[in-house]
Structure 1
Amino acid sequence: MIKNRRELFSLHWTCASLAGLAFLAGCASTPSATQKTAGWIKDEVADSYVFGYPLVLMGVARDAAVGTDPGQAPINTLHHAQALPPVGTANPPQPSLDTLDSTGWLDVGAEPVIVSLPDSHGRYLDARVLDMWTNVVWSTGTQYATRAAGIKAQTIAFVGPGWQGELPKGVARVDVPTRNAWVSVRIQSNGPRDLMAVRKLQRAIRVAPLSVYAGDTRSASVTPPRSNAADAAAAAASGTPAAQIAGLDAKGFFSRLAQALQDNPPTPADPHALKVLSDLGVTPGDPVKLPDAAEAVGAGLADGHERIVTAPSNLLAANGWSWFGDGVGNYGPDYAMRAYAAYAQPGIGTKDDEVRAVIAQDSDGHALNGANRYVIHFEPNQLPPARGFWSITAYTRDGALGESAPARLAVGDRNGARRNRDGSLDVTVSSARSKSGNWLPAPRADLQLVLRLYAPKPQATDSSWQPPAVVRQ
């Protein structure tokens, strides 16, 4: 299990850690990179990898998404999904069948960017903006604390560091600590016949720099920074951002990190983390000069990646399911949780936005497989606590939708899941058609299930509620 260290970097700089090193005169002396043993180098590379992973991931995702090719959108504009995701896709992993998504990348370095959202007239609409460290700087999640669904029309200005100026009347200000930010708007879709209504709401969303919003059509578009042409080409390569990062060597990873740090300082500021990076030869905007200890650096990189893909101990877990609790979306110094969230559920919001509980094993600990038949039994007081709605979707083990058309179905309260006479609810999971009214078609192979709660209630993330086990019949 991963070490979940809230003071991830200070661990290596305490007197207790240094006392056994004979070449040090005392704790007031900080070891240089050339003095450090291979063990020190390995640990610091691993810690720095965990620390910097979300920023590198966001940079790779941005570079792949910004452009004019199909599926891309220029900076400060949105790409609107026009249909539900195709079968077999795992990029992004675990694509939702409940919403159509509008996503884009903002550049607030020169001036604020204005985002206007329409009145959704009672339809569930979720919007959020993440900084480059994957912290949520703004979302509509808290608005659902006072209503079951839908948002009112609103206009928000996302303002970069150091900007001083006046905003138009009626525009709310939200400060963004990094030059770039990621915006996502998800609109509830009720199937193919509902797409025209969703697209109408999508067309009503407006994103524009302040100067354009105010009427200056001469404002030029901006291009986000890239480290070099090779990185730009890599960003366009196939595979998820996580897969692309997994293929980077230490120099490639830390070069991207050094380049990204120029415009995206740590939030909150962490001098310890930057000091460790500096000792490793990683400084914002400069060429990377890693220690001449290839074996230790490689071992640290491998250790860091292993930490990234391993669930931290403070992840909520019950009956084989796992999900994020109250700290998601605003991580502070919990770098282990922040990195794992970026890897496992990129773009995840706060506790008020969404819960995604994931399971890949049955109640006996065996891998879920669509050749079997399973039942998920919700007691009347155990139904998913959501102000919006909830759903369960089946995916392959790598997070793709199943190849058969029925596997594109999600089961939940928005599509009339039937309750039993006592108020309980059963969901049947199998690749073979079931007579159950709540049949969830599954891939004919090993699989995972994702239970989504849109606008979850507090008990979904404070450990007072847990989803039931998946029982093989």
Structure 2
Amino acid sequence: MIKNRRELFSLHWTCASFAGLALLAGCASPPAATQKPAGWIKDEVADSYVFGYPLVLMGVARDAAVGTDPGQAPLNTLRHAQALPPVGASNPPQPSLDTLDSTGWLDVGSEPVIVSLPDSHGRYVDARVLDMWTNVVWSTSAQFTTRAAGIKSQTIAFVGPGWQGDLPKGVKRVDVPTRNAWVSVRIQSNGTRDLTAVRKLQRAIRVAPLSVYAGDTRTATITPPRSNAADAAMSASGTPAAQVAALDANGFFTRLAQALPDNPPTPADPHALKFLADLGVTPGEPVKLPKAADAIAAGLTEGHERVVTAPTNLLNGNGWNWFGDDVGNYGPDYALRAYAASMQPGIGTKDDEVRAVVTQDSDGHALNGANRYVIHFAPNQLPPVRGFWSITAYTKDGALGESAPARLAVGDRNGARRNRDGSLDVTVSSVRSKSGNWLPAPRADLQLVLRLYAPKPQATDSSWQPPAVVRQ
């Protein structure tokens, strides 16, 4: 049974007035925090943690990715993946075997940043830009109609708050509500023999500040995001999600306070900012948390739990779970926004991609590669896509298997065979199967990820669900 009940953030914020950030100055009242009962402090810490989690996570991810060290790239520059993920890769978790990704961080605080994409000549390309609250501000999915048949050459200017000026002719303007933004361009790859063509498309992507694009390099200096030695040391180890989870309350709220001036909440929520002010958290100012260590620690623990707890408007069926129509543009649904940022960093909108995950078989037992499973798609229940789909097996931690066969995905991109009646069976096991659609799996507890690229509406409106994983 699929569940799709809307769950707005279950906070105490019932009297919010969306009058804009102008209320912020009048909201700052740190002394009031010490007068609140400990229970209210706990609740407001938990609520504020869920509210601020995506911004803090994106800031940590940016700091880890921006630079000149191996694996990094400067601001307004793309880093191109050149090959499939390394064996055992779990950073990011659940790495795709379907695309080569080009990613980078934009700084639109001083001037617009221009992104030019080449004609893909029919090859599937998924490009998207997220603001610092993980809302999708632009993606190529709107260009796909009945099927995803590649993209045409195009140039987009990503414009920060308050910028006024003229853009070059033929450049489309997209407004970004935050100073920084994350850009991802994923290009379909059809195996190792296809990498040369993919790399050629990657090299044709251009990213440049407006002044550089227009030829005036003297005015192209971009001030890097604020950081410090402690932030740099933290970014040296662990995934961004792990780094955020390791922060204590003062560390978390300090990063949030530092990020807010350049990246105001979207939508503007003065009531949420008042909660922060009650706790001594004011944008751009040193954090002064109440002297209630137990309540703060309890609120932080509850915040951690909320972030990783699936909200009730997450779709689920036959043991799988996936995001529905609300993903990518969250409005005030802070619970869904935080959960999506934690579980599937960089997730797009319902039109960009669906990523369904299952960890149990039809009897409720943990999936394990030592067993043999079959996923049977009825003729009228194949994944509904305008692009393509695939299934990949990972360890329970989201890493690829150590052996070469375990680094394969099964889907229509690589010619999954149908049965005579039009149905399709995928066999999952660590032991080679005679089935034409064998999905190699780690010989341990595992998870399966079904990706739908450019999904059709029925993939997210509750009218379709993946079939059960049945142990043989």
CA distance in 1 between partners of 2:11 and 2:426 (Å): 45
Q: C-alpha distance in 2, partners of 1:7/1:335? A: 5
Output aligned runs, 1:51-450, within 5 Å. 51-235=51-235, 237-450=236-449
Question: Which amino acid letter does the alignment assign opposite residue 471 of structure 1?
Answer: V
Query: Is contact 2:7–2:313 with CA below 8 Å preserved after alignment?
Result: no
Cα 1:223/1:397, change in 2 over 3 Å? farther
- Equivalents in 2 of 1:356, 1:350: separation in Å? 11
**Residue of structure 2 in register with 1:6 after alignment:** 8
Distance in 2 separating the partners of 1:374 and 1:385: 22
In structure 2, give the amino acid aligned to 1:327.
D
Q: Tell whether the 8 Å contact from 1:41 to 1:296 is kept in structure 2 after alignment.
A: yes
Tell me the amino acid that sits aligned with residue 69 of structure 2. D
Matched residues in 2 for 1:92 and 1:125: separation? 20
What residue in structure 2 maps to residue 22 of structure 1?
none
Give me the CA root mean square deviation: 1.7
Q: Match of 2:8, as an amino acid?
A: R
Task: Give the conservation status (yes or no) of the 8 Å contact 1:10–1:272.
Answer: no
Q: C-alpha deviations, 1:187-227, integer Å up to 9, x for none? A: 00001100000000000000000000001122344243234
Aligned identity (percent) is 86
Instruction: State the shift of 1:313 in Å.
Output: 0.7
Distance apart, 1:86 and its partner CA: 1.0
Distance (Å, rounded) in 2 between the aligned partners of 1:46 and 1:135: 22
The residue that corresponds to 1:459 in the other structure is 458
Q: Is the 8 A contact 1:227 1:256 kept in 2?
A: no
Conserved? CA contact 1:401–1:408, under 8 Å: yes
- Matched AA of 1:347: G
Task: Name the amino acid aligned to 2:411.
Answer: G
- Mapped to 2, the partners of 1:165 and 1:8 lie a distance apart of 41
Deviations 1:47-88 (A, max 9, x none): 000000000000000000001111110000000000000110
The one-character-per-residue Cα deviations of 1:400-433 (angstroms, maximum 9, x if unpaired) are 0011111110000010000000000000000000
Q: 1:8 Cα shift?
A: 4.5
Task: Report the CA distance shift for 1:385/1:161 in structure 2 as closer, same or farther (over 3 A).
Answer: same
Instruction: Give the match for residue 41 of structure 1.
Output: 41
Separation in structure 1 between the aligned mates of residue 11 and residue 208 of structure 2, nearest angstrom: 39
Give how far 1:5 is off. Answer: 5.3
Partner SS for 1:350: coil
Look up the equivalent residue of 1:226 and give its one-letter code. R
Q: Which AA in structure 2 matches 1:6?
A: L
For the residue of structure 1 that corresponds to 2:32, the secondary structure is coil
Q: What code does the residue aligned with 1:135 have?
A: N
Question: What's the TM-score once normalised by structure 1's chain length?
Answer: 0.94
Q: Distance in 2 between matches of 1:212 and 1:174?
A: 18
1:22-47: per-residue Cα shift (whole Å, max 9, x none)?
A: xxxxxxxx992122111100000000
> Aligned pair count?
457
Contact 2:211-2:220 at 8 Å conserved across structures:
no
Partner AA of 1:470 in structure 2: V
Asked if the contact 2:115/2:208 (under 8 Å) is kept, the reply is: yes
CA offsets 1:261-297 (integer angstroms, 9 cap, x no match): 0100000100010000000000111110001000000
Instruction: State the AA in 2 paired with 1:136.
Output: V
Q: Measure the CA separation in 2 of the matches of 1:151 and 1:325.
A: 25
Paired residue secondary structure (1:394): strand
Structure 2 unpaired stretches of 5+:
17-29
Residues 388, 456 of structure 1: 8 Å contact kept: yes
Q: CA deviation at 1:357?
A: 0.2
| Conserved? CA contact 1:227–1:259, under 8 Å | no
1:301-332 deviations in whole A, cap 9, x for unaligned?
00000000111111000000000000100000
The change in CA–CA distance for 1:378 and 1:351 in structure 2 (over 3 A counts) is same
C-alpha distance in 1 between matches for 2:223 and 2:322: 36
Give me the whole-angstrom Cα distance separating, in 1, the residues matched to 2:219 and 2:100.
30
Do the aligned partners of 1:9 and 1:273 also contact (CA within 8 Å) in 2? Answer: no
SS at match of 2:200: helix
CA drift of 1:364 comes to 0.3
How far apart, in 1, do the equivalents of 2:11 and 2:285 lie?
22
- Taking structure 2 as the reference length, what is the TM-score of the superposition? 0.95
Q: Distance in 1 between matches of 2:56 and 2:239?
A: 13
For the 8 Å contact 1:4–1:337, the answer to whether it is kept is no
Query: Separation in 1 of the partners of 2:31 and 2:331?
Result: 27
Structure 1: stretches of 5+ with no match in the other structure: 15-29
How far did residue 343 of structure 1 move?
Answer: 0.2
Cα offsets for 1:314-364 (capped at 9, x unmatched): 100000000000010000000000000000000000001000000000000
- Equivalent in the alignment of 1:17: none
Q: Is the 8 A contact 2:44 2:275 kept in 1?
A: yes
- Write the distance in 1 (CA, Å) between the matches of 2:219 and 2:443: 53
Aligned partner of residue 150 in structure 1, secondary structure: coil
Instruction: Say which is worse superposed, 143-152 or 218-227, in terms of deviation.
Output: 218-227
